[in-house]
């Protein structure tokens, strides 16, 4: 996907990184550092920094934050960082660094909360099945407790919502298929597809409800800031 909105502000001197606003730049750097560390010692990084279900022996409180910097493979981090770069720069320069960093992490926390809430409902269902003696229930419980969740996608979906909220008429074009429409409708379609995929249970290796959690919290924050008339005031949160 690509966007026709672009801002440089004369900051291109000094190389690629120096042209980026500070929060977006540092998020990119931290994500890359975590990814390289994961390549060097995958088991340690996953067990320590990925997000596990609260009853898992691998769960640690800081994983609610650190899972946002973890990624499963190159394509996972590539598309998340590409989207962060494409939308984060515009949004950070519009909202200001303070608002942007708060918004990004609140969306990430919202993603973790909804994802874990859905897992809780699944766990209750599996436990009820186990109590009734259904075969396979214990393996489902074990899989849920030991399956890590990684990725910045919840926060990234928050950025998509923010962009659609700030620039609803901005034209966006998918790389494939090459369809062009307004940001408002493009991102609405993404959210609907995520919801349908999550409800269908297909592509279970994708945390669809984490994406939806980031999007919903992002929409709520945007709406609150607009109602308080501080959306474009970079000094107020």
Lowest mean pLDDT among 12-26, 66-80, 147-161, 175-189: 12-26
pLDDT tens sequence across 77-95: 999 999 999 999 999 999 9
pLDDT tens sequence across 109-126: 999 999 999 999 999 999
pLDDT band at 172 (very low <50, low <70, confident <90, very high): confident
pLDDT band at 14 (very low <50, low <70, confident <90, very high): low
125 near 140, Cβ under 8 Å?
no
Distance CA 174, CA 6 (A): 16
What mean pLDDT comes out for the span 169-192?
A: 88
**For position 236, what pLDDT does the model report?**
84
Q: Which among 194, 231, 200, 236 is positioned nearest to 215, based on CA atoms? A: 194
Where do the domains of the chain lie, and which CATH numbers do they carry?
A: 2-9+17-227 (1.20.1540.10)
Q: Is the pLDDT of residue 142 over 70?
A: yes
pLDDT band at 235 (very low <50, low <70, confident <90, very high): confident
pLDDT band at 11 (very low <50, low <70, confident <90, very high): very low
**For position 3, what pLDDT does the model report?**
41
pLDDT tens sequence across 63-72: 999 999 999 9
Distance CA 4, CA 166 (A): 14
Beta-bridge partners for 149: 51
Distance CA 27, CA 7 (A): 19
Phi, psi of 7, deg, nearest 5: -140, 135
Q: Is the pLDDT of residue 226 over 90?
A: yes
Rounded to two decimals, the pTM is: 0.89
62 near 131, Cβ under 8 Å?
no
Distance CA 234, CA 138 (A): 51
Give the pair of three-digit tokens for residue 169.
């008429």
Q: Is the pLDDT of residue 15 over 80?
A: no
Distance CA 232, CA 237 (A): 10
94 near 24, Cβ under 8 Å?
no
Q: Is the pLDDT of residue 9 over 60?
A: no
Half-sphere exposure of 9 (CA within 13 A, CB side): 11
pLDDT tens sequence across 123-135: 999 999 999 988 8
| pLDDT above 70 coverage of the chain, percent | 92
């Amino acid at each position: 996907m690509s966007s026709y909105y672009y801002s440089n502000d004369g900051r291109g001197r000094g190389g690629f990184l120096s042209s980026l606003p500070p929060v977006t730049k540092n998020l990119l750097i931290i994500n890359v550092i975590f990814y390289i560390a994961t390549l060097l010692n995958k088991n340690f990084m996953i067990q320590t920094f990925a997000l596990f279900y609260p009853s898992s022996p691998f769960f640690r409180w800081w994983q609610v934050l650190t899972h946002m910097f973890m990624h499963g493979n190159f394509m996972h981090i590539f598309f998340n960082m590409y989207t962060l770069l494409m939308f984060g720069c515009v949004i950070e320069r519009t909202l200001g660094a303070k608002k942007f960093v708060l918004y990004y992490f609140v969306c990430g926390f919202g993603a973790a909360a909804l994802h874990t809430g859905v897992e809780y409902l699944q766990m209750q269902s599996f436990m009820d099945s186990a109590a009734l003696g259904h075969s396979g229930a214990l393996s489902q419980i074990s899989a849920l407790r030991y399956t890590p969740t990684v990725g910045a996608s919840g926060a990234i979906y928050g950025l998509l919502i923010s962009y659609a909220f700030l620039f609803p008429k901005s034209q966006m074009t998918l790389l494939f298929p090459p369809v062009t429409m307004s940001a408002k409708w493009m991102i609405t379609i993404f959210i609907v597809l995520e919801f349908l995929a999550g409800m269908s249970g297909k592509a279970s290796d994708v945390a669809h409800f984490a994406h939806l959690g980031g999007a919903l919290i992002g929409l709520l924050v945007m709406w609150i800031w607009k109602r308080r008339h501080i959306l474009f005031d970079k000094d107020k949160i």
